[in-house]
Amino acid sequence: MSNKIVTFGEIMLRLAPYNYERFVQAGTFQVTYGGGEANVAVSLANFGNDVAFVTRLPKNPIGEAALNAVRGYGVDTQYILRGGTRLGIYFLEHGASIRPSKVVYDRADSAISQVEPGMIDWATIFKDKAWFHVTGITPALAPNAAKATIEAVQAAKAAGLKVSCDLNYRKKLWTKAEAKETMTKVVEYVDVVIANEEDAADVFGIEAASIDVTTGTLDTEKYKSVASQLKDYCKAELVAITLRESLSASDNNWSAMLFDGNEFLVSRKYPIHLVDRVGGGDSFGAGLIHGLVNGWDKHKALEFAVAASGLKQTIPGDMNLVTEDEVLGIMKGDISGRVQR
């Protein structure tokens, strides 16, 4: 079975103050690159998969730096379009303890937001590929980007690929009504839906009674209802829901569940002292895709995804820079953090 994978979406320039400073304090910003689908591609490449990332970048030095940021980890960049005038930017203020993290976007009129149906030769890209991954972020950027995303998932299904989608609702990019209208069309072609409890509620109005994500504790039984409703709505083969118990901006408990229509699988729960939670969901998606595309059973794929994404949240930056062996070590129970010599 081929394990060739394609992801499609935006990569951005990330600017973040050092040392947990607030924006108002910052005299310098750390530069990294990241974005949901790019993060997934890098994770998958680090796990040993053949993965291509499709986006549109400006033909200038900043666009080139973004391209190099993923190519340097072994991601295939041959299908990236060049055009437009700017790369999207986001500013990240890291939270700590009881102070939450904050994100400010500067991505209007970015190169990828101007992508249109017909610009990308999906038939060529999908030849001999096995899996296609998108998120709810790209279609939120502009109406034409939404149409291009729908075109992409339609082409993937026509070519016989499995399709996964992380709902990834971003309230700063579009309204709940806009998200529901577009994502309802996208998930018609999706085999694996990935979400958290807020995404399900914000995009499709699906929620279980009496869920309050601010309490720091989660009732798994209530999330089974969310997973079941999502599967019925999306008609997907699998629904995965990440479960974050936010004790503070510095400490979380992290787990997930997977539902196939018959069985609810619930993963091990990991206590995480956060270094950088951005990209945690992306690394979960990558871990799940890695397991499924390589023929693992659903339980192993789920546990791998949770362990991988737990590890990511101990790494600065958007991208998960760990290997399959490192994740398997965590799955075996080695979470002591002792120095390896």
Catalytic residue at 260?
Answer: no
Using a cut of 0.85, tell me whether the model's pTM lies above it: yes
Residue type, 96: A
Residues in CB range of 280: below 8 A, 6 or more apart: 242, 244, 254, 309, 312, 313
pLDDT at 218: 67
State the sign of the Cα–Cα–Cα–Cα dihedral 112, 18, 255, 202. Answer: negative
User: What digits encode the pLDDT tens for the residues 52-92?
Assistant: 999 999 999 999 999 999 999 999 999 999 999 999 999 99
Residues 245 and 252 sit within 8 Å (Cβ to Cβ) = yes
Q: What are phi and psi of 16, to 5 degrees?
A: -135, 135
Closest CA to 194 of 130, 264, 281, 254: 281
Work out the angle between the directed axes of helices 197-204 and 220-234 (0-180°, nearest 10). 40
Low-confidence ranges of the chain (pLDDT < 50): 1
Query: Cα separation of 137 and 252, whole Å?
Result: 24
Question: Cα–Cα distance between 277 and 335 in angstroms, integer?
Answer: 18
Q: Which CATH number fits domain 5-331: 2.40.170.20, 3.40.1190.20, 2.60.40.1180, 3.40.50.970?
A: 3.40.1190.20
**Catalytic site residue from 76, 166, 276, 282:** 282
How distant is the alpha carbon of residue 162 from its chain centre?
Answer: 17
- Report the pLDDT value the prediction gives residue 3, as an integer from 0 to 100: 84
pLDDT at 208: 74
